[in-house]
Amino acid sequence: METRSVTTGLLTAGLLAALLLATGCAPSTPEDAGPAGTTGPGSPSDPAGPGPGADASAGPGADAGADLAADLAADLSAEVVQYRRDAQRGVVQVKVTNGGDRTLQVSRVTVDSPTFVTPAAADKDSALGAGLSVDLTVPLGEPACGGQVGAAGEHTALVEVDGTTVTLPVAGRVLEQVRDQRCAEADVAGVVDLAWQPTWQDADEVDGEPGLRGRLVATPTAGDVPVDLAVGDATTLFTVDEPVAATVTGDAVVLEVTVTVTRCDAHAVAEDKKGYLFPVRVRVDGAEEVLLEVAVPVPERAALQDLIDRTCA
């Protein structure tokens, strides 16, 4: 009797299970069953994907990318420099140093600073060996003048290395100096135009050395605003014999300047970048003095090169 009762119970349970399967009423797992669930919202098998509260960017890939960027930032450092040759070109160098133990490939560099209106970027293809530094040229854009401030809150260099962008802090001193100089130049250009006349003529000898006379023309562009000018500083190749000064108050003024050769070593002459940029001190309407460099145009440098040849022969 006991055996028959158990058997009957088993048969009854089997028949009930078969009936449930036949009618599609299979047992289900609750949506909030947690990790054991296989069909709830946000589960791997849910065709609708993660639920609205899920972070799509989170996961092993995102963590690995963040870790790589942090490792690169620990190995890299950057500073902004400007060499003599850079000022006239309107560029700076971002010197990136690799303190790690493997070679990296730099594909892009961006300078972001409140001293310029927009970030300045340049594409690169530069290998950076372990323990080495590389200068990356970046052309700067419009300076933030007259109280204007760029969008960036800090001075940074964004360096793309092996496909990962690394943000590196940089000192702002050079960028601030470049900004100040370019804003000052823009202020001067708004009131007076400075240009060397194309004709340079032989002058009397100075201490037994041949001299050459040039003429700097100052043309006012803003009415009668007084502009004080002085030419007397040497360049890397030429010395001004006697300082010359003048004030522009409405009409164009010509300053005659006599120069002699400063140096004759062949390497310095051949590699010179600023020898033909003559410093001019400018003060507009009593404001702070600004030091500008007025270049002799390349096609008009033949007479000055001839002076070097005659002096150094």
Mean pLDDT of 88-106: 95
Q: List, for residues 216-233, the tens digit of each pLDDT value.
A: 999 999 888 999 999 999
Q: List, for residues 271-300, the tens digit of each pLDDT value.
A: 787 899 999 999 999 999 999 999 999 988
Model pLDDT, residue 28: 37
Same structural domain for residues 159 and 129? yes
Model pLDDT, residue 244: 97
Residue 54 within a domain: no
Same structural domain for residues 164 and 213? no
Of 143, 175, 207, which residue is a domain's last?
175
Residue 30 within a domain: no
Give the Å distances, CA to CA, from 170 to 76, 87, 148, 154, 217.
12, 19, 21, 9, 40
Same structural domain for residues 195 and 297? yes
More confident residue, 5 or 120: 120
Of 140, 175, 210, which residue is a domain's last?
175
Residue 153 within a domain: yes
More confident residue, 44 or 258: 258
Question: Does residue 25 surpass a pLDDT of 50?
Answer: no
Same structural domain for residues 128 and 197? no
Cα(308)–Cα(80) distance, rounded to whole angstroms?
35
Model pLDDT, residue 62: 57
**Domains of the chain: total:** 2
Mean pLDDT of the chain: 82
Domain extent at residue 293:
190-312
Same structural domain for residues 241 and 147? no
| pTM higher than the cut 0.85 | no
- Other beta carbons less than 10 A from residue 93's beta carbon: 19
Kindly report the CA angle at 182 between 260 and 293, in degrees rounded to 5?
A: 5
CATH number of the domain encompassing residue 119: 2.60.40
